[in-house]
Amino acid sequence: MSAETYAPRQPTEIHTDVLSEARRACYKARDAFYACLEKESDKKPTEIASVGLLYPPECKASRAKYLKMCRSSWCDW
């Protein structure tokens, strides 16, 4: 493949979602979602996420924040 294949479409475009501050915010949201999963693990999961993942309804808000703060490729498991 040529180098143009891997070149950014807009070389001056900055992807702010992969900068340090954005990654920290993503990790914080992810950790909050996983903490909720651990805390609510004794409850029956009823909410359906990607790939059929079930999680407790109490974690719906933290999952929404996780999906909002992180790239979708970072949220797919």
Mean pLDDT of the region 26-37 = 93
> What number is the average pLDDT over the span 32-50?
78
CA distance 69 to 51: 20
**pLDDT recorded at residue 18:** 65
What's the CA gap between 51 and 67, in Å, rounded?
14
| pLDDT > 90? residue 66 | yes
pLDDT above 90: residue 71? no
To the nearest whole percent, how much of the chain has pLDDT over 90? 29
55: Cβ–Cβ under 8 A, 6 or more apart, which residues?
37, 40, 45, 47, 49, 63
Q: Name the band, by pLDDT with cuts 50, 70 and 90, for residue 77.
A: low
